[in-house]
Each structure stands twice: as structure tokens, then as C-alpha cells.
Copies of this chain bind each other. A is one copy, B any other.
Amino acid sequence: MCESKILHEVTAANDAYAADFGDKGKLALPPARGFAILTCMDARLDPAKYAGLAEGDAHVIRNAGGRASDDAIRSLVISHKLLGTKEWFVIHHTDCGMELFTTEIIGDLLADDLSTAHFDGKSWSNPQHKGGSVAGRYINWLTIRDLAGSVIEDVRRIRSHPLVPGDIPVYGFIYDVRTGRLIEVPDATAAGKIVA
């Protein structure tokens, strides 16, 4: 177990959490507050903290960018259809890594080498060139060109999905990593309003 420092730290932190678990073991499966958040995997974001969630409150779906991918839609539909959530948030954030590359750039980098690339503040380069995989060229990486625009488009995609009922409001926000504040994107929330 302890070959890895990270593995040791994570299990030690978990021991401390479990030792003071209290009544949390009695929580029910469906989210008590009946909503779901779709947001980015970014390390600086803690949705439980920035949105005030206790264990048991809400579903949290996270991927690179907080995008309304097919898999995020799968999760949101399960969240409503089987577990009863009635309101959804799409929350992207400032200084997102998804704004720093394109599907073409990561396809080229991965075809050349799989190890971590270097970013000089303007462009990416591979320190090694051991030969990567062309598999990256067959993936849509869902990068972001325009931050507010990506929130609006993701809300629109969710709103117009055939498996999403019209009575679920979808709110669009941007989290500011410099201030910790959620800033509403009014055009997104408007696009996500309840429809007949």
C-alpha cells in the first residue's frame, strides 16, 4: 500500500474521515435536496464548498470542462429519472485548461508522445517523442473557445435533449477561481428555463 506517498496520504486521510463519520451512514440514496451540479474536474473547484453541499444533498457530475457530453447526459437522466432531481446547474469556470488547446493540438501531441506536455504560456510541446497513439484523433475533446458561450451551448444541449423533460430548470454559471464566486450566465439560464 505505502509504495506510493499519495496512496498512503489518501488512505490516512480516509481513516480520519471514517473515524468521525457520525450519522452519515444512515443517509438515503436519492439526493435529499433534489438537484444536480455538472461542473469541471479542475482541482481548484470544490463544488461541495462553493455551493454549500453536505453529504447526501445533491448529485455532482464532473468532467474536463464541465461539458454536457453524452456521458454527462447519461448521468443527468439517471439523476432525474431514477433518483428524482428536479433542478440542474451547469457550472464552468475562469482560467479553465480547456481554453488552452484545441482538438487538433491534443491530437497532434498524443500522436507524438503520451507523456505530459509542456506549456510555455502560449503553446504546447512534447519534451519526449517516443511515439504516441493516433487514437486521440478520433476523440472530440470538447475544448472551450468562449467561456460564457460554452455554458450557453451546454445548457441548450441539455434543454433540447429528447430524454430531458421540459419541467427541469437548467441554470448556467461561471465559477471565478480568483474570487470563489459563482456568476450567473443569464443567457444560459434563460435557455434552460422550463418549457411547456
Contacts and interface: CB of A to CB of B under 8 A. Distances in A.
Nearest to A116: B84
Given A106-B78, A141-B74, A162-B135, A62 B64 contact: no
A163 B114 contact: yes
A77 interface: yes
Nearest to A80: B116
A83 interface: yes
Nearest to A136: B163
Interface in A80-138: 80-84, 87, 89, 95, 97-98, 100-101, 106, 109-110, 114-117, 119, 124, 132-133, 135-136
Contact of A75 (B34, B63, B79, B161): B63
B75 A97 contact: no
Interface residues of A, number: 99
Given A10-B89, A41-B79, A164-B114, A63 B72 contact: yes
Contacts of A132: 163
Contacts of A169: 4
14 contacts: A1-B184, A9-B52, A13-B51, A17-B180, A21-B179, A32-B43, A43-B56, A48-B48, A77-B136, A78-B141, A82-B100, A82-B117, A83-B97, A110-B163
